[in-house]
Structure 1
Amino acid sequence: MNPTKKAVVTGGTHGIGLAVVKALLAEGAEVVLTGANEKNVEAARSELASDRAHVLRSDASSLADIDALGRYVEDTLGSVDFVFVNVGYAETGPIEQVTEAVFDKIFGIKVKGAFFTTQRLLPLVNEGGSFVFTTAVLDGLGYAETSVATGSVTAVRGFAKALAAEFVPRGIRVNVISPGFTQTPSMGFVTTNDEEKAAIQKQGEELTPMSRHAAPEEIAAAVMFLAFDATFSTGIILHADGGLGQVMA
């Protein structure tokens, strides 16, 4: 990755996002990364401790915060080569238990946040640059009690397809990373307790043909490929799911 690249990673203070930030820094990039949780933001600042890592608390569901992020990126980096749109929030439960507040929170962060972050940062992305959106294996499958979360990632998948076509004249690529079960602090669902996380761990190992969860670094490697190496690919979905959505074990 030469000369020095500049990147933005939303949802970059833990899990897959943090793994992508570390991969970027290891390649010499300068990165603005965001997180909504102040504890995670401070932990990332402490852990990264690099003058090339600029950590900003930002709520993806807030248009004011998104605009502030755009101004911060412009002031700090000027222009960028890569944007990883990695915000998300998910809760599970049967349709009878879904409240308007839960629905609005999931769609506000995952769908509204992804769309308007892209809109705000687009003018700062260099020709030849790229966006990568995070969805999930849910975007191509149907799991009971995940209706709102599934709807949100499927919407983002649709954005990516349409924006890939829209950004071609600008020389900007748009692709999707669709992870399966991944060993992150939240296991993909922020409201889970330790017992529920253990159940997700067991379920992931049983359902995934490769019989394990991905390490965040494995997903990060796929993201980096889409970001910089897949120069003749746009509008694609790269499934990093251990075969879960692709093959029968």
Structure 2
Amino acid sequence: MSITSLRSNNCLLSRLKLLVKQQQQKLVHTLSEGGLQAQSRPKMVPDSVPGEGFIDMSNWKKVDARVLGIKPTMISQSSWTVLKILQGEGFEAYLVGGCVRDLILKRIPKDFDVITTANLKQIKNQFHRAHIVGQRFPICMVHVKGSCHRGWLVNIVSSFATVAKQHSDKEEVTFSQMPKGCNKKDFIRWRNSMHRDFTINSLFFDPFSNKIYDYANGMADLRSLKLRSLVPAKLSFQEDCW
């Protein structure tokens, strides 16, 4: 092994350890602020990548957000605006990722990420102030005018189509492999969730129907303080451009 290769591997390992530590600290901090007591540090569990071509629907869950105490007022008005416009145009649109995790913990999220079935150009065309940014993983930055003197608020909106395109070369599971009885909307959400980093960040929330979609036991891992990765951590670092 060359010195350059050795240094590269050491750098990757250092970044991996740092990310795990940061995610563990963030989860403990979030649980504490959410009113839950963390008796111990979260357990880092091996990658939970499903077997090749295998889709286990037995663990898929749809939970009523109202049962968890999530109220409409916990969601920012600008996020509501983005969701209403997209759904009003016939697109599926959800809150996704860390904001859903925080809402479950009864903690007001700092940021609300939206994902939709609209492609980036369609997203951009729905809003007066919006622009597409990013090369490796493009997203749409949507500016929504806030109330009173808050000015313009930025909302990050991504597309299911972008994620599918990014993974098209290595995507093993296609619509032709969709299990019998599987809803197409469920399949799209599930496939996207499998490309996220940790199970606790793979949750989708439709505040109009008050449904939280959990395809990777994210809520169970959140309750038991498990930090379970969905993709191999090394791969996540190689694709992450920070």
Higher RCO, Cα 8 Å, sep 6+: 2
Same fold by TM (over 0.5)?
no
Q: TM tier, shorter chain?
A: under 0.3
Question: TM-score scaled to structure 2, two decimals?
Answer: 0.25
Question: TM-score scaled to structure 1, two decimals?
Answer: 0.25
